[in-house]
Amino acid sequence: MRAMILAAGFGTRLWPLTIDRTKPAIPFLNKPLICYSVEYLSKFSIKEIVVNLHHRGESVTQALGDGKDFGVKIFYSEEKEILGTSGAMDYAKDWLKDDRFLVINGKVITDIDLNAALETHCKRKALATLILKENPQRERFSKVLLDSQGNIEKFGDFPDPNAIEDCPLMFTGIQILEPEIFNYIPPNQFSHSTTDVYPKAIADGKIIAAHITKGRWYELSTLARYLDISLRFLKEQGKDSIYGLGTEIAPSASIKESILWQRVKVEEGAKLYQVIIGDDVRVPANTKLERVVVVRRDKCLEIEQGEIIGENIVVSLK
């Protein structure tokens, strides 16, 4: 079975970390995020992977190369215009159309058992099987509603955080598909699976199965989620913070629960708490920062949010 990793998004909710790289190429524990997806697929004997590219595609190719270092073969599907989740599949159709395939987002960390999901897919004789998880915190992920057979009936709105109801289900972005799915994808245009493809297939009587998992799954699509999930993993390793290569910390500086990328310089007396610092940033002496992201000003052509402080841009974590 082949797989496709979706990596073409602009990463707007992770700005300014995505100024010079796409979202799946940002470092997670000092390794590009997309590397985890490749390693994950390889563990399940998926050895041929296509990755779609658009925004800052070179940041992904530099991280993955041809896949040799991961024991896989990696191919690239470069989109001149961004095509959406199912539009991306259509664009790579010639590479995917001959057999069952899997699609995963390039912005997740997971240990979900793909063999169990594949068993569900085969048992239900599904056109597609979507891996779902419970969403007890009612985070902003669209609800997925099932029929009496455990198949997907429709996709709903975001859950009401104040509602008293059964725990909603959410889609992890991991899906197993049969080649017949291309009969329902609009050709040569932008489209999304959950809004443009699966509703048509369901209306046509096709089985879109749900596989509900208890596996670990983390999605790093916002600045706050990126920091909080990084800190969770660091805590499990008995660590408080992490520094990239070439980072220099003055002896009197205080750094707690923070993520520093490469070649960061933190000067005397600086105090950082729950801060993300981008490559090559200098934190001036006696600076105090809390729950913010800092990147170099000279990397930004346009300032989308935050404020300019000296040679840096500082963006608050919401």
Give residue 108's pLDDT.
Answer: 93
Give residue 166's pLDDT.
Answer: 80
Give residue 215's pLDDT.
Answer: 95
Phi, psi for 288 (deg, rounded to 5): -120, 120
Hey, what's the torsion of the CAs at 254, 256, 259, 265, to 10 degrees? 0
Q: Given the structure tokens 């029929």, which residue do they identify? A: 147
Give residue 11's pLDDT.
Answer: 83
310: number of Cβ within 10 Å:
11
250: number of Cβ within 10 Å:
14
Under a CB-based contact definition with an 8 Å cutoff, are residues 107 and 219 in contact?
Answer: yes
Give residue 168's pLDDT.
Answer: 93
Give CATH 3.90.550.10 domain extents, the chain: 2-219
Q: To which CATH superfamily is domain 2-219 assigned?
A: Spore Coat Polysaccharide Biosynthesis Protein SpsA; Chain A (3.90.550.10)
- The rounded distance, in Å, linking the Cα atoms of 118 and 175 is 10
Tokens linked to 139 = 């985070």
Is this model's pTM higher than 0.85 or not? Answer: yes
Tokens linked to 318 = 């919401």
Q: Given the structure tokens 């004789």, which residue do they identify? A: 125
Task: List per-residue pLDDT tens for the chain, 318 residues long.
Answer: 999 999 998 888 999 999 999 999 999 999 999 999 999 999 999 999 999 999 899 999 999 999 999 999 999 999 999 999 999 999 999 999 999 999 999 999 999 999 999 999 999 999 999 999 999 888 889 999 999 999 999 999 988 887 777 899 999 999 999 999 999 999 999 999 999 999 999 999 999 999 999 999 999 989 999 999 999 999 999 999 999 999 999 999 999 999 999 999 999 999 999 999 999 999 999 999 999 999 999 988 788 789 999 999 999 997
Rg, the chain, Cα only: 21
Contacts of residue 174, Cβ cutoff 8 Å, sequence gap at least 6? 102, 103, 104, 105, 108, 110, 112, 114, 117, 130, 131
Give residue 270's pLDDT.
Answer: 98
Tokens linked to 166 = 């059964």
222: number of Cβ within 10 Å:
14
